[in-house]
């Protein structure tokens, strides 16, 4: 067990000792830790001007982009996950989106990929045998991580700024892509990370 | 909020044991392990060489260079996210753990599963898929085909303090003849911080 100092009845307690202990605890509480992850192969060698897709947590193969931020049919893994602030006792929590990527050998000089955390609502089912629908509108404020013009054979990670732990509800990861066909295919992992707010 | 002790202005309430308990509490928090990556793979009479992720997200490796088809075959790890600022130095740690199940046949060669750091191998065609290859190899787990179903094996705790941030993956290698051997392997990569 690693202590900054092991105390005994020796009169060795100094203010600096208490400050070190406090700093230690602060370090631990404020480290970013993984909360939820999803990933997929983004096939971007098409015209993706203002296209959107979401990420199912067990997506196999490429994701499918749509023209609008409405998921028309939910059949198979949805990628929706629950966030409940009651899971975190104590201090307020902070969040960020972290996107790691491995690109193919084609640069994307004109692509901007904006990944974000999207709140989800559930649409009304249609007639018999209809597929359930989930709906999202826009990314949570502050949750956008932008991957701008990834280079050929690029490997890296981009993060959003910090944003507060969202209110209780269902969420999923999504990305809005702008740009023309650039023969690029990029493999991404998206993570929601959380930590305690600095005191 | 549950404290070890709530101190007051009375100096008599401050005991060395209580301060040590506070530090031990902090250490417990650091040493809690987090699941960074999960994988599962299975085979019948097959040789395999794959980066493995969640079910159906494996990808076969050809001549040590793979096309990355499924994102969850790899994960990002940054040792700096798992360090503390004070002495004693606590090191970022990773560990691989897997459980093996098999059918009734015990023939064949060993099944190896190990942590790798990977890198972009380049060389994909236009509109092709990105390709990766191993960069750093960590000591693997090895299962014998005759290991009992339910056998769990764990690597030592890897000291990651000398490693860099980047993509990591779990590579599964099955070689040789497997006459009638059916098996399933499931596992996790765990991250924590420890002296």
- Convert the pLDDT of each residue in B87-140 to its tens digit: 667 899 999 999 999 988 888 888 999 999 999 988 888 778 888 889 999 999
How many CB pairs lie under 8 A apart between chains A and B? 149
What is the reported pLDDT for B155? 98
What is the reported pLDDT for A141? 93
When CB atoms are compared, the residue of A7, A17, A28 closest to B29 is A28
Range of lowest pLDDT (B115-119, B163-167, B172-176): B172-176
In this structure, chain A runs to a length of 199
CB atoms within 10 A of CB A107: 17
- B51 interface with A at CB cutoff 8 Å: no
Token match 């940054």: residue? Answer: B78
Greater model confidence, A113 or B190: B190
Q: B26–A90: do the CB atoms touch at under 8 Å? A: no
Contact B97, B190 (CB under 8 A): yes
When CB atoms are compared, the residue of B14, B57, B84 closest to A28 is B84
Q: A2–B36: do the CB atoms touch at under 8 Å? A: no
- Residue burial A119-130, b: 16+ Cβ < 10 Å; e: rest: bbeebeeeeeee
Contact A41, A198 (CB under 8 A): no
Q: B68–A102: do the CB atoms touch at under 8 Å? A: yes
Element (H, E) at B12: none
- B55 interface with A at CB cutoff 8 Å: yes
Q: B119–A59: do the CB atoms touch at under 8 Å? A: no
Compute the distance between CA of residue B15 and CA of residue B40 in angstroms, rounded to an integer.
50
What is the reported pLDDT for B167? 95
For A22, what's the count of Cα atoms within 13 Å in the CB-facing half-sphere?
8
If we measure between CA atoms, which residue out of B157, B35, B170, B171 comes closest to residue B92? B157
Q: A2–B70: do the CB atoms touch at under 8 Å? A: no
What is the reported pLDDT for A68? 46
Compute the distance between CA of residue A39 and CA of residue A61 in angstroms, rounded to an integer.
10
Say how far residue A43 (Cα) sits from the centre of its chain.
19
Compute the distance between CA of residue B53 and CA of residue B35 in angstroms, rounded to an integer.
13
What is the reported pLDDT for A58? 45
Nearest CA of chain A to the CA of B5: how many Å? 14
Encode pLDDT of B8-24 as tens digits. Answer: 776 666 778 888 888 88
- B9 interface with A at CB cutoff 8 Å: no
Q: List Cα–Cα distances, A20 to A2, A13, A189, B19, B132, in angstroms.
A: 13, 12, 36, 12, 43
Q: List Cα–Cα distances, A32 to A23, A96, B139, in angstroms.
A: 16, 9, 27
- B76 interface with A at CB cutoff 8 Å: yes
Range of lowest pLDDT (A49-53, B180-184, B187-191): A49-53
Residues of chain A with pLDDT under 70: 1-2, 43-52, 54-78, 124-126, 130-132, 199
CB atoms within 10 A of CB B40: 18
Compute the distance between CA of residue A191 and CA of residue B154 in angstroms, rounded to an integer.
26
Q: What is the DSSP letter of A112?
A: E
Encode pLDDT of B37-62 as tens digits. Answer: 999 988 888 888 888 887 666 677 76
* Contacting residues of A for B55, CB less than 8 Å apart: 58
* Contacting residues of A for B190, CB less than 8 Å apart: none
Beta strands in A31-159 (DSSP E): 33-43, 51-55, 70-71, 81-83, 93-103, 112-119, 121-122, 134-135, 145-148, 155-159
Contact B132, B167 (CB under 8 A): yes
If we measure between CA atoms, which residue out of A33, A29, A15, A21 comes closest to residue B24? A21
When CB atoms are compared, the residue of B27, B86, B129 closest to A1 is B27
Q: List Cα–Cα distances, B163 to A135, A191, B1, B78, B119, in angstroms.
A: 42, 21, 37, 8, 13
When CB atoms are compared, the residue of A5, A27, A39 closest to B72 is A39
When CB atoms are compared, the residue of A25, A61, A183 closest to B127 is A183
Contact B149, B63 (CB under 8 A): no
């Amino acid at each position: 067990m690693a202590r900054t100092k092991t105390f005994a009845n020796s009169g060795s307690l100094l203010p600096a000792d208490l400050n070190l202990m406090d700093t230690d605890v602060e370090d631990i509480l404020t480290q970013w830790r993984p909360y939820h992850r999803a990933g997929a192969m983004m096939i971007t060698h098409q015209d993706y001007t203002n296209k959107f897709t979401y990420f199912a947590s067990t997506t196999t193969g490429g994701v499918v982009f749509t023209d609008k931020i409405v998921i028309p049919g939910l059949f198979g893994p949805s990628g929706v996950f629950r966030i409940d602030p009651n899971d975190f006792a104590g201090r307020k929590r902070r969040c960020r989106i972290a996107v790691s990527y491995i690109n193919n050998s084609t640069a994307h000089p004109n692509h901007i990929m904006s990944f974000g955390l999207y709140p989800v609502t559930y649409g009304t089912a249609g007639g018999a045998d209809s597929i359930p629908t989930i709906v999202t509108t826009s990314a949570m404020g502050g949750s956008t991580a932008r991957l701008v013009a990834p280079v050929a054979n690029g490997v890296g990670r981009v993060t959003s700024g910090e944003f507060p732990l969202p209110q209780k509800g269902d969420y999923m990861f999504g990305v809005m892509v702008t740009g023309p066909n650039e023969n690029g295919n990029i493999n991404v992992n998206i993570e929601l990370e959380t930590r305690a707010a600095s005191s | 909020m549950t404290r070890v002790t709530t101190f007051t202005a009375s100096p008599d309430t401050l005991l060395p044991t209580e301060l040590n308990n506070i530090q031990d509490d902090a250490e417990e928090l650091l040493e809690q392990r987090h699941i960074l990556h999960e994988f599962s793979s299975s085979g019948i009479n097959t040789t395999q060489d794959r980066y493995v992720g969640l079910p159906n997200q494996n990808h076969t490796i050809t001549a040590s260079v793979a096309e990355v088809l499924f994102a969850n075959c790899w994960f990002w790890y940054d040792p700096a996210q798992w360090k503390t600022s004070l002495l004693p130095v606590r090191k970022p740690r990773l560990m691989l753990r897997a459980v093996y199940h098999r059918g009734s046949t015990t023939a064949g060669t060993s099944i190896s599963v190990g942590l790798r750091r990977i890198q972009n191998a380049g060389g994909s065609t236009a509109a092709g898929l990105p390709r990766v290859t191993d960069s750093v190899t960590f000591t693997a787990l090895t299962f014998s085909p005759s290991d009992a179903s339910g056998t769990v094996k764990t690597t030592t705790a890897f000291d990651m303090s000398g490693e860099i941030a980047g993509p990591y993956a779990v590579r599964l290698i099955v070689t040789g003849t497997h006459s009638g051997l059916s098996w399933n392997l499931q596992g996790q990569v765990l991250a924590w911080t420890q002296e």
